[in-house]
Amino acid sequence: MDILRRIMGYVARYKWKAITAMLFLVLLISLNLITPYLTKILVDDVIRGGKRNLLVPILTAIFGFAACRGLLSYFRSFLFESVSQKCLYDLRNDMYTHLQGLSFAFYDDNRIGELMSRMTGDLEGIRMFVVGGLSILLENAIYFTGTTIMLFSLNAELALITLAILPFIAWVAVKFNKTIRPAYSEIREQQANLNTAAQENIAGVRVVRAFAREDYEIEKFEKENRLNQEKNKNASFIWARYFPLIEFLSGFCAVALIGYGGWMVAIEKITLGTVVAFNGYLWMLIMPVRMLGWIVNIIGHAITSGKRVFDILDTGSSIKEKSNSYFSDEYRGDVVFDNVSFSYKENSILFNININAPAGKTIGIMGPTGSGKTSIINLIGRLYDVSSGRVLVDGVDVRDWKLSALRSQIGIVMQDTFLFSDTVEGNILYGNPDASREDVIRAAKIAEAHDFIMEMPQGYDTIVGERGVGLSGGQKQRIAIARAIIKNPRILIMDDCTSAVDMETEYEIQQALKKIMKGRTTFIIAHRVSSVKDADEILFLDNGRIVERGTHEELLALKGRYYELYMQQYKDLDEFRSKRQVI
């Protein structure tokens, strides 16, 4: 009930529209209730009773009523639609804004497909309730009581006989909806499975072909396809079992009316007009009963959908901004890790990390896969919160910073490069929407991306991303670097973002970066010694601990893990050098 109340809270914002719509509805129903009565007068008094002078007024009334009904029902549904669309609009925006505020941890746990279904299917469930459920519930309740009163006042005996079957119709209708609902949701689930099977086959086509797994893929898809067929058949069979039965039972009322009503007319207990009027009212009564199942369904649906939607709206971000958070006009870019430990989902990731990176310094981070490199840099922009210790930027704990101020100072190039379906220029401008075309080109040149961009069909106006031109890993990485550069950040973080770029290009990028990052702080995660060797301090991580730290020379002199790595990568350097000296 709480959920419905919350949904109604959205409706209440447009209460005057809703109230007007309800008023129209009540008027409309009253007109509808009178119409069959007019027919009764027509049959009994005008046709049979011979009061021909009443013909014109009655016919005019029938027509006039129909016209009024048309107008009323038009505006009623227009208003209801408007209210429901407004609510939907509000809810959608609330959801979107809220999703934007949720932390990385939330996105680690929630699949995009799942979030999409909440933003589409579940919001649709709520809309259905607002537009249909509410007005139809009201409409049918009034119809039901109104018609029942009319029928009983016309003739109680006939009313009792013809309506005897109603509870049974209601029972079947409710049962029908209860059975078919899970069947429909099974179809939806299976469609999602089918979708995944096809989508992965297409996206992974290179793997499928490389392993010659076409037959296996066909078999896999056929299984899902067959299940999809079964689920669809199943739902239709349920429909076939119940729906014609409901039709039949509704028709039974009319049969009872002809039989029993006809008998009553024959023994002159009632007039023929009463039977005709009954016939008119009967359908007004049967409809609400048949709708009962639908209404129960809509409400049930709204409750489950509402729960899923509000669950997200009620999810607090694990990253909370303090009330009087810190921001300033001038930022330096000093970064300090003060005894930082970090664990995530009961796994300890980092232990007692201490780093001091005053503005202008470059920190290189190395270490095997899973040693915690990315976690360190994620803590700087407060993408996650530390478990203990402090991360300070410009001497202020990042938890005291205004988030947007903090993150505006940081340019991150992430390991998994994500580009939007936009032009190359649009993607680079994402880092700084106010930048000019010249700035874009300058950033692209620094990132060594300009040349290949110019070779693309429309240059900077080429559309890339999921729905655009396919780029190689190295090309994506370079555009992502340009995107971070154009932001002109005080702190630049590069998370293994040149892995797909050849060494020479990487070298060029680094030389160019060195110039623009003067006086700013840079963090570089890399696997190649060449990427980090110029850093002011190199941290070698293993299992969440800094096992070695120092400059390139210091670490070489240490002859530890870093040295080992260096030797593996450059074992013939010395040999090469000596050769060069010979040359």
* Residues in 216-245 at the binding interface with other proteins, rule: CB under 8 A: 216-218, 221-222, 225-226, 228-229, 232-233, 236-237, 239-241, 243-245
Any contact of residue 574 with other proteins (CB under 8 A)? no
Site string for other proteins, 185-204 (x = CB under 8 A): ------x--xxx-xxxxxxx
CB of 5 to other proteins, least distance (A): 24
Among 211, 322, 557, 559, which residue sits at the site for other proteins (rule: CB under 8 A)? 211
Q: Which tokens is 183 given?
A: 């069947």
Per CB under 8 A, contacts with other proteins among 429-458 are: 429-431, 433-434, 452
Yes or no: say if 551 and 536 are a contact pair by the CB < 8 Å rule.
Answer: yes
Q: What 3-state class would DSSP assign to 204? A: coil
Q: SS3 sequence, 145-202? A: HHHHHHHHHHCHHHHHHHHCCHHHHHHHHHHHHHHHHHHHHHHHHHHHHHHHHHHHHH
Nearer to other proteins, 148 or 530 (CB): 530
Yes or no: say if 257 and 282 are a contact pair by the CB < 8 Å rule.
Answer: yes
* Part of the chain binding other proteins (CB under 8 A), chosen from 9-17, 144-152, 334-342, 465-473: 465-473
Q: DSSP state, 265?
A: H
Among 9, 107, 160, 189, which residue sits at the site for other proteins (rule: CB under 8 A)? 107
Among 9, 15, 49, 93, which residue sits at the site for other proteins (rule: CB under 8 A)? 93
Any contact of residue 168 with other proteins (CB under 8 A)? no
Mark 510-525 as b/e (b = at least 16 C-beta within 10 Å). bebbeeebeebbbbbb
- Report the candidate in 493, 469, 468, 471 with the shortest Cα–Cα distance to residue 481: 493
Q: What 3-state class would DSSP assign to 35? A: helix
CB of 326 to other proteins, least distance (A): 15
- How are strands ordered across the β-sheet holding 396-397? 347-357, 335-344, 388-393, 396-397
CA distance 117 to 101: 19
Nearer to other proteins, 4 or 435 (CB): 435
Any contact of residue 390 with other proteins (CB under 8 A)? no
Q: SS3 sequence, 421-437? A: CCEHHHHHHCCCCCCCH
CB of 496 to other proteins, least distance (A): 7
Per CB under 8 A, contacts with other proteins among 328-357 are: none
Among 13, 209, 269, 559, which residue sits at the site for other proteins (rule: CB under 8 A)? 209
Any contact of residue 423 with other proteins (CB under 8 A)? yes
CB of 519 to other proteins, least distance (A): 22
Among 8, 27, 500, 558, which residue sits at the site for other proteins (rule: CB under 8 A)? 500
Q: Which tokens is 294 given?
A: 């639908």
Among 21, 25, 42, 513, which residue sits at the site for other proteins (rule: CB under 8 A)? 42
Per CB under 8 A, contacts with other proteins among 245-304 are: 245, 247-248, 251-252, 254-255, 258-259, 262-263, 265-267, 272, 275-276, 279
* Part of the chain binding other proteins (CB under 8 A), chosen from 302-310, 321-329, 332-340, 366-374: 366-374
> Strand 521-525 vs strand 362-366: parallel, antiparallel, or unpaired?
parallel
Paired with 494 in beta bridges are 413, 524
How big is the site for other proteins, counted in residues (CB under 8 A)?
Answer: 169
Among 13, 15, 52, 320, which residue sits at the site for other proteins (rule: CB under 8 A)? 52
Distance set, CA 244 to CA 174, 257, 462, 547 (Å): 14, 20, 56, 75
